[in-house]
Amino acid sequence: MVIYEAGAYDVIVIGAGHAGCEAALAAARLGCNTLLITLSMEGIALMPCNPSIGGPAKAQLVREIDALGGEMGINIDKANLQVRTINTGKGPAVQAIRAQADKYEYHQVMLKTLLTERNLHVLMAEVEEIEVSNYKVTSIITKTGARFLTKAIVVTSGTYLKGRIIVGDVAFDGGPGNQFPAVRLSDCLKELGFTMGRFKTGTPPRIDRKSVDFSKMVEQPGDDMDLRFSYITEPNQREQLSCWLTHSNTKTHALVMDNLDRAPMYTGAITGKGPRYCPSFEDKVVRFSHKDSHQLFIEPESRTTDEMYIQGLNTSLPEDVQIQVLHSIKGLENVRIIRTGYAIEYDYILPSQLKLTLETKNIAGLFTAGQINGTSGYEEAAAQGLIAGINAALQVQEKEPFVLKRNEAFIGVLIDDLLTGEIDEPYRLLTSRAEYRLLLRQDNADLRLTEIGRKIGLVDDYRWQIFQQKKAELEEEIDHLKKTTYTPADNFMTDFLKQKDSAALKDRTSLWDILKRPEITVNDYINLGLINTQTPSILEQIQIQSKYEGYINKQADQVKKFLKMENKKIPLNIKYEEVMSLSNEATHKLNQVRPTSIGQASRLFGVNPADINVLLIYLEKEKRK
């Protein structure tokens, strides 16, 4: 193959899934001449699994991406089929919105965004080589011999690295949705010294809407209220399409059990570890054998197709068994398959080899983001892509790197977990993983991160103006509620509290403190003319901040203690073998991860409190020297 010089770019992004799109847009918008390389134009922003965005912890990620100036929130607002709020019966820390996406429209809208972005060039090609000199990236080479010089590379290859599709006893090389796999790039990363692992994920069969009997199912409509992911999206009066709920049954489960000898999960044909929080249907039947049924959601994939997705039925069973399983389910007795369910195995890089910027530790200018880092989910991928793209651009421009801490964003939790945890299965972000989740709600992501995005350079003037107006209005309303007070002698307030079965005032009390009572709401204040705004997002903030003020302040105090540990930095050149009394396991783990702070070190699996005390004493002695 003849190698020819094809051009030079500041940043090259390899892969155009959700991580690649965010990485390329961030780098280009920060002023870098950027090349985005994809195996297939049709694979850009592809949704090979459930075509949905959001849900617990994931909605928080999308709102944070949006607040920083990313694209996912804007894109799903333009291309949704249905939007709902999840966990409405729980507190604001775990409430989340979720949108069913039109996967074809989502692809088209993102493709247009990429192709019209200044400083960004999209190219369909397969990257086979990453060239390095003196432990720093210099260029990439495509399968057709094109060499592109570059200062920084972001690899966002998703599940394509040595991808292998498995259906029953049939297996073949391939990427998701029958795309081409990336074979040589995985070997290249190994040759560069990276430790790779093997994971597995799966998808359910897609079925023909015309063959479904919805009369036997429970309709799941979207919410009537205006729900949007992006803080700058205009209200959209799109028709919402319903999802539908049905269940598996004992006959379904018997079919699975009778065919386990043909299930790749149990025959040894699949070697990669699958996601625990999104198991295959056959795995659910075996692991939860005491259950007679499992929920299955029938969800539309587009306004322009009759293809429907079966959430909860990921499977790699043989095709004939999949048909039998479907026909045993209420409402699917005569269903027709459009696409067979399959499992896919793929290579990933162990994330302990990364810095918090998502740059690799051993090769300067090489970043990785998305499922190549061992994660699952479109939202987790997009969040990593945004951070990697930002840091690739900042490095090219010789600026300080950008890192979000665990107390600042769910994105910070995600990346810190990847670097410090034992990633032995595809990682999924959960609200329970964030110890400060009451501070990191989906509703306040703009208040937390927009100013940071502005400093980086991703928040444009339009978004900044909207944010400043909201912030000023919110501060004005809170100040008004705190300064407006009532005494026990005020008949107006006394009568109102009596109507609400609320205790009478004992002392002069502000409207802010009265609102803390569970029976009092901002809607009451609107009806009484006690509040000036009717902006939904402002009212939401007032309600949450007043009701949970005590808990929010308590978590803020916890953050102060957390930051003390985070601010105790560990020198990168420390020799852990010379730290007396440090356990062998801790020494090994600390050498492997090379944490940047005592806080990060304390979260490493295998490093116990005694090891941290030893390390603190050692660092203090070195400081005195």
- Write out pLDDT tens, residues 277-309: 778 999 999 999 999 999 999 999 999 999 999
pLDDT tens for residues 426-475? 999 999 999 999 999 999 999 999 999 999 999 999 999 999 999 999 99
Identify the band that residue 212 occupies on the pLDDT scale cut at 50, 70 and 90: very high
| Fold of the CATH domain 206-342 | Elongation Factor Tu (Ef-tu); domain 3 (2.40.30)
Identify the band that residue 605 occupies on the pLDDT scale cut at 50, 70 and 90: confident
Q: Which residues of 423-435 are buried (b: 16+ CB within 10 A; e: fewer)?
A: bebbbbbbbebbe
**Class of residue 206 by CB neighbours under 10 A (exposed 0-12, middle 13-18, buried 19+):** middle
What is the Cα gyration radius of the chain? 26
Among candidate residues 196, 158, 160, the one with its CA nearest the CA of residue 181: 160
What integer is the mean pLDDT of 87-102?
91
3-state SS track over 239-282: CCCCEEEEECCHHHHHHHHHCHHHCHHHHCCCCCECCCCCCCHH
Residue 2, both tokens: 């003849």
What integer is the mean pLDDT of 254-266?
93
Identify the band that residue 272 occupies on the pLDDT scale cut at 50, 70 and 90: confident
Domain ranges in the chain are 9-201+346-434, 206-342, 468-549, 568-624
Residue 46, both tokens: 């592809």
**Class of residue 342 by CB neighbours under 10 A (exposed 0-12, middle 13-18, buried 19+):** buried
Amino acid of residue 23 = A
Give residue 360's Cα distance to chain centre. Answer: 20
pLDDT value for 606: 87
What integer is the mean pLDDT of 154-165?
95
Tell me which CATH code domain 468-549 carries.
1.10.10.1800
Q: Give 470's contacts (C-beta < 8 A, 6+ positions apart).
A: 231, 446, 535, 537, 538
Identify the band that residue 177 occupies on the pLDDT scale cut at 50, 70 and 90: confident
Amino acid of residue 603 = R
Kindly write down the DSSP assignment for every residue of 66-112, as one continuous string. Answer: HHTT-SHHHHHHHSEEEEEEE-TTS-TTT-EEEEEE-HHHHHHHHHH
Identify the band that residue 244 occupies on the pLDDT scale cut at 50, 70 and 90: very high
pLDDT tens for residues 371-402? 999 999 999 999 999 999 999 999 999 999 99
Amino acid of residue 263 = A
pLDDT value for 315: 95
pLDDT value for 422: 83
Q: Which DSSP letter does residue 182 get? A: B
Amino acid of residue 165 = I
CA-to-CA distance for 331 and 505, rounded, in angstroms? 58
- Would you say 77 and 227 are in contact if contact means Cβ atoms under 8 Å apart? no
Pairing verdict, β 136-142 and 127-133: antiparallel
Neighbouring CB atoms inside 10 A of 308's CB total 24
What integer is the mean pLDDT of 33-44?
96
pLDDT at 276 over 80: no
Superfamily of domain 568-624: GidA associated domain, C-terminal subdomain (1.10.150.570)
pTM of the full structure = 0.95
Neighbouring CB atoms inside 10 A of 498's CB total 11
What integer is the mean pLDDT of 9-18?
98
pLDDT at 590 over 80: yes
Residue with tokens 């499922």: 371
Superfamily of domain 9-201+346-434: FAD/NAD(P)-binding domain (3.50.50.60)
